[in-house]
Chains A and B, each alone.
Chain A
């Protein structure tokens, strides 16, 4: 092998190496973008508002939903009690739910509930400590409403669509 061909060889190998590295980066960037958009699309719809099977409703207006979680609307249209279950204020699902579905910040919900409880004009929602407990309560409490990750939803609860 003459020195020229060697240098060509080195150059070509180097170019190939560069290309492959570039391709790797390009793919990785593409993949990252894809994953990001995918996860964002996923984030919008990977939880649902759920209700106890006894509730004869299949949808609710955004306005009424806000009123339910503000603890102002207290009965289902058939006159039975609404029982509201929530996770802790700093729970990720609670935060996403309040911002996306109710369009309020968790601290605003908290102050709304505190105003009701300590003036006696209303009650606070019932706090559960985990997704599992939320699921249990929704199944076992007549008139219950709450929210769950899609992965935790099965045929034992009903999903409420927001109009």
Chain B
């Protein structure tokens, strides 16, 4: 199939090296979408075909991979060096300097993004972040103590040193941990906290810290492997990809409402907190 695309691309004169691994690959690491690499592939393919159509690129000139874990994503980014990626914010901050990531757009989605996070406890004796010293905190950010400390906790506590931080893959696991007394605290966004309070014993859950607004999922370019003209075309295409009936339906399959210009102030503030 790829050989055929190469011929088509050559005929159209648009691509010198269409469909080669690297700059024309897209990595997606979004943890709240569900599914896995194999089950997500048809949806990602449909999204990319629609994007190519929107910007007038030959079909299948972009290839994409959906990655569910931090480990798989970092491995893929290092090995394949895709031109573009949608990354969970903590991983973006972790790899920003190492891989020269530049946010060019951001995702709008009711389901996929975390507008702010609360540190949630049940034990009435726990009233402030300082009370969690030496306590078990189960968090979906357990793999990202630096982001948790600097961006979510605004530097008030060093989560890696002060807490017994336990990573959990799903927020629900953290909630259950707190309700069963297996964890002293967890991290939840507003909608998760509201739903957790509806669970048995959940009325006693409360927030002892609310973060400042958090950056959403950025669309980033990696280094300068993607030529500027192609990058600009992709950015332009992504801004329109969820428009129209077809685009809306394809984006909805991936829980995307729209892709919009990056909120530089929000990312700038978080970058300042996170440091170099």
The answer to whether A binds B is no
Partner-B contacts on A (CB < 8 A): none
Partner-A contacts on B (CB < 8 A): none
